[in-house]
Structure formats: C-alpha cells, structure tokens
Amino acid sequence: MEKDEEQDIRLDTAPDSDLEDDELIQDWSQAAQLSIRSSTLPKRGEKDYEPDGTNVQELLLYRARKAMFDTLSNSARGSVVKNLVKAYYDPHEHKALVLRPKGNFLHTLGKMHRDGTVWLEFHEFVYLAERGSITPFYKMDGIDWINQELPLTIEDLYMLFKSQEELDTFFVFEHLKRLGFIVMPTNNSLDSFFEPKVGKNSGQALSNTWNLLPEWRKTIHNTIFYSPWKFWLNRYTSNPQIYQSLNQLIPSYRAPRTEEELRRTRFGSMTKKPSAFPISLNVWKPRTDFKKKSPGIPDFQVVIYNKNDPNQHFPTYHELQEIFQYLDYKFEFLSEIDDKWDWDDHSYHDGKLRSQTVANVKSKNAGVAADSKKSQKVKPKRKPKPKSPRVQQKIRLKNGFRSFLLAVMDDGMISFIKISETDFGSENVWYVPQLTTKKPTL
C-alpha cells in the first residue's frame, strides 16, 4: 500500500459501537469510481428504486447492486499495522492478554493492571475478536510467542469454550452488548445493595423467623379452626365481607417491599449450597459516567436457562425463591415510593457506603466541579404528580417487587422473560365504597 493511500485511510481507535455494516458504510452509487482514487465514500441518499410495477425500478435496483459489487471488488483491503490491537489467549488462565491496549471498548471491558496491560475475560475476548476490535493470537509456552505469533480464527475461538454453559453465557452477553447495554459477570462484584454482614447472621436469622411467625399462625389458624361452615353461620351483607373472609382463608406469600425487609430476607434465608440457577450477568443501562472500578449496583440481573439441555429444567417454585433471595440490583419499587431516593445513599462499595466513596472522589476535583456548576444553569426538575392509590396498586400488581430476566436459549435463539414476585394476597383488589356522611339539614 502506498503512502498516499495510507494517509487517506483514517483508522482511529476501535469505537465501542455495535452498528451493522449497512449502517456504517454509506451510499454505493458512483462509489465504484471513487474506490480506486480514495476510500472515502459519499453519504447515502434516499431510495429511488421502490417497487412500482415497472421495469424502470428494476433497472435502477440492478445498477445499485452492480455499483456495490464493483466497489467491493475494486476497493483496497487491509489495515494499518500500527493500529492493530493484538490479544494473546492464555490457556492456563483461560483469558486473553493485551500488551498495548487502545480503544474505547476499554471503558466497559477488560481489567487494567499497573504495568499497562489489560486482561480480557474469554467471552470479552471472543466478542471483541468478532467485532474486529482486536486480532486474536495464541500464547504458547516454551517459545517466544510475541515474535512467533500463532493467529487464531473465529472458528478456533469457538473451539476453546470449555462448556455449554459458558457458550450460552457468551451468546447472551454478546446479544445484550450489541443492543447497547453494559454487561459484566456477577463474580467479584464490589458493589452491593446489602450492607456487608459482620457477625449479624444469627440475629438476622432470628429476626426473619420471628417475622414469619404471623404467616405461620395464620396458616395454622385457617387449617384447624377455619371451616366452610362459617359461610353458613355468618351473614354477609356486602361483597367486601365475602372477599375479606376468603382472604383470611387462603394462605398467601407476602413479598418483601421495604429496605429493611429486603435485608432481613437476604441474610436470614440464604443457603450455603450452590444454586441450580446462578445469576450469570449484571446489566446496566447505557451511560457516559460508567466506571469499571465502581460501576454501582446493576439495573438488571440475568439468569440463563437452556431448554435443549437435558440436564436443565425450568426453575421450580422453590428455585425461583432462591433466585429472588440472591438478587442484588436496583429494586425499582423502592425508588418509586420515595421521590428523593438516591441509590448512592443505599448501596455499598467494597464494604463502605457508596455516597462516601463518591464524595471522596469528587473532593479531589472540587475546584473544577465548582467552576462547571457556575457556568451551567441547572433547571429545577418538575415534581411528578402524585398518583392515586388505585393507580399505585395497579402498578404494584403489574410490575411486582423483586424481578430478574430469564434468558431462555432455544437452538441459538434467545428469549428474555421477566419474572417478578407479585403480592396479590395483601392487596385489596375489590371495590370498597367510601362512606359519606350526610350533612344535617335544617
């Protein structure tokens, strides 16, 4: 490749974008002639070959296709060597090492070391290789693997997966990343909604057992003392009375709905045995201030289930309860109750309150932050209108409380199911008319 052509080709650091090829490349019309002189393509115009039943549109479509194929066949292919990002797979660590990292993907992927190198998890390594952000190589022991490089193909990378569960996790990770979400594995997470337990196991367990006693008393009372004969002995004068009696008769599960109840359920009911359905991925909504060292608690959590695997089954009721107990994310129903809710004041980073950690970081840049605040005029936020009790009840019944995403794998197809716990037993879903007192007439 000549120097003039190299100057025309601009290859910046690999962008952290998952746009398809048809969105990145612009117009193909008259591009065959420009491909020989320069690699810069003009912008795309509007389609002029929409089908209208005539041969003219077919001819225009044929010319557009021919221009595209001519551009692909005549364009110079290659990449600048100095812009390549090489990643070396280590079979002992089952990770990839990047000696000279560069690219915007480092904001959300990889783990930086003090020596300037970056270690990629295997699913991150395969994902970046598929995108073309890195060039994969194999790290061989006993030889100079930097000078004697062994390149890997995408087919070779798929052969390095150790299990079907790891492959399913990669498919879900890749799918969510291409949708624009920030995805990280759940292991070694320093941020948590729950306060680290230090000698509180026994007290939390006793507290949780004590709070469950009313439910047990209710169940025992209904089983032994409550009888259908009560409907024959009692006299009901309104529908709400019948519904209240049925509500006392049918045992129900009360979902935790406050911060205290969530913490009590977390430490009082968790089992030490490994769960059959572990939480695989943490998912954050796209944001510009994301930091890998302190990402905060995730917005969603994903559990993966492969329906084609004979060793797996759809989670049962008790297994769903175990999943709910292990959830650690932004519980939306808590922030909906309080308008002034701040997650930094109700989450922990490395055992410390997250608001204190953020305040320490902001204090270092206090001068810059003060100048920026003076220059920017912040508009006051409008307070949301208060919702009626009936609307709030409909939201609780529809969205539930704790929830997670179940990613169902079916021969490569991924279907996401949101599973949440909804408390119908403690909700008054029947109509209760308000008692109005008539004003005395003179």
Q: What is the pLDDT along the chain (442 residues), one digit of tens a residue?
A: 444 444 443 444 444 555 444 444 445 555 555 555 555 555 555 555 556 677 877 888 888 888 888 888 877 766 677 778 899 999 999 999 999 888 888 889 988 888 889 999 999 999 999 988 899 999 887 777 777 788 899 999 999 999 999 999 999 999 999 999 999 998 877 888 887 765 444 444 444 444 444 454 555 555 555 566 666 677 778 777 877 777 777 777 788 888 888 888 877 655 666 678 899 999 999 988 888 888 888 999 999 999 998 888 999 988 998 899 889 898 888 877 666 777 877 788 877 887 777 776 666 555 544 445 444 555 555 666 777 777 888 888 888 899 999 999 998 899 999 999 888 877 877 766 665 555 555 5
Q: Which two tokens stand for residue 421?
A: 């716990």
Strands 403-410 and 300-306 come out as: parallel
Residues making up the chain, counted from first to last: 442
Contacting residues for 252 by C-beta, under 8 A, at least 6 apart = 423, 424, 425, 426
pTM listed for this prediction:
0.71
CATH class, domain 84-162, is alpha beta
Query: What pLDDT does 245 receive?
Result: 76
Cα–Cα distance measured from residue 401 to residue 322, given in angstroms and rounded to the nearest whole number: 15
**In 72-141, which ranges are E strands?**
86-90, 95-98, 111-112, 118-121, 135-138
With b for 16 or more beta-carbon neighbours within 10 A and e for fewer, the 356-375 pattern comes to ebeeeeeeeeeeeeeeeeee
- Check residue 292 and give its pLDDT: 84
Query: Crossing angle, helix 366-375 and helix 354-364, to 10 degrees?
Result: 80
Q: Which residue's entry shows tokens 């952290």?
A: 16
**Residue 78, both tokens:** 């290659």
Domain residue spans of the chain = 3-74, 84-162, 201-357+385-420
Give CA–CA dist 193/90, Å, rounded: 34
